[in-house]
Amino acid sequence: MGPGARGWGRWLPGLAALLTLPSGPPGCWGARIVGGHEVTPHSRPYMASVSFEGRHHCGGFLLRARWVVSAAHCFSDRDPHSGLVVLGAHDLQSSEPTQQVLGIAAVVRHPDYQPTTHANDICLLRLNGSAVLGPAVGLLALPRRGARPPSVGTRCRVAGWGFVSDFEEPPPGLMEAEVRVLGLHVCNSSWRGQLSPAMLCTHSGDGRRRGFCSADSGGPLVCRSRAHGLISFSGLWCGDPKTPDVYTQVSAFVTWIWDVVRRGGPLPGSTGRPV
C-alpha cells in the first residue's frame, strides 16, 4: 500500500533511499499492499482515510460517530487544521455518493507515545461532526477490556489505500491482505529486540510477501471482527518475512481509549491538540 507505514513521505529508489533512512525502526518504503486484493466496495464500512492537501496520508477506523482511531505518528509535523477524514469510501479518486468528509476537531495522542521507537503509537481523532451510520459507514469494535492479543497463527485482515506501484499509482479501491499473527518473541528477534510488549506482529504464514505498506499507517488489523492491531511500521521492503509487520496492540489501550471518549477530549497529561 503507499508512502511509509511510518508516514515518512514518498518512496525513493536506489541508493538515495538507503542514505536517507531516518533513525529508529525503519518504515516500509515500498509502495503497494503486498499479496492483497481489492475488497467488495463498502464491505469494510469502518475504514477511514485521513488526508492532507487533498492526498490520502494514513488510515484509521471509525469507533464512534465522532471518533476515529489512528496512529500517533501520522500527525508528526502535520497541522490537524488541514486534515480531513473521509468515510464511506471505496475509490478515493472518485466522488462517491457514499462518502462523508469531516474535519478534525482534536487529535489526542497517547501521552507515552515515543516517536523514535513507535511505542504507544496510537491516537484518537475527534471529528467536527457526527458520521451518519449506514451500509457504507459503520463502526468497528475494540477488544474487550483485559482481552489477550490473538493467539499465534490467528488469521486476520489488514486493509488500506496505499499506492499499488513504486510510481505512486493509486489503487483501484480499498485493498486488503490476509495475514497471520506472529509470536512477539519471534518477531522481536527479527527486529533485534526493538519491540515493546504492547506491540503485535503478523506475517504471511507461507513465506510469501504479504502485508501492509506505505500510507496504510493507522489502519486496523481485524481479527474475529475486532480491531486487535493498529498499523505502525514495517521493514525497508514491504511484506519482507525478514522484518515482520508491526502493529500497536489495541487491547493494551482499551481503557485509555474509552476514558478519552467518555471525557470527550484530552485527558490530563495527554497531547491533545484542539483545533
Residue 118 bears catalytic tag: no
Domain residue ranges of the chain, discontinuous segments joined by +: 1-263
Residue 259 bears catalytic tag: no
Residue 73 bears catalytic tag: yes
The answer, yes or no, to whether residue 275 has pLDDT greater than 70, is no
Catalytic residue, candidates 204, 214, 217, 232? 217
The answer, yes or no, to whether residue 32 has pLDDT greater than 60, is no
The answer, yes or no, to whether residue 215 has pLDDT greater than 70, is yes
The percent of residues in the chain predicted with pLDDT above 90, rounded, is 69
Determine the pLDDT at residue 168: 60
Give CATH for domain 1-263: 2.40.10.10
pLDDT band for position 35 (cuts 50, 70, 90): confident
What average pLDDT does range 133-147 have in this prediction? Answer: 96
* Global pTM value: 0.86
- Candidate from 20-34, 61-75, 219-233, 246-260 with smallest mean pLDDT: 20-34
Per the listing, cell 494514513 goes with 58
Structure-block grid coordinates of residue 18: 538507503
Catalytic residue, candidates 42, 56, 73, 118? 73
Question: What pLDDT digit, counting tens, does each position of 84-109 carry?
Answer: 999 999 999 999 999 999 999 999 99
Which residues are CB-contacts of 156 (< 8 A; sequence separation ≥ 6)? 150, 178, 179, 180, 181, 202, 221, 222, 223, 228, 229
Q: Pick 191 or 23 by higher pLDDT.
A: 191
Q: What 3-state DSSP class applies to 63?
A: strand
Q: What 3-state DSSP class applies to 197?
A: coil
Catalytic residue, candidates 121, 216, 240, 245? 121
The answer, yes or no, to whether residue 159 has pLDDT greater than 70, is yes
Interior/surface letters 79-110, b for 16+ CB within 10 angstroms, e for the rest: ebeebbbbbbbbbbeeebeebbebebbbbbbb
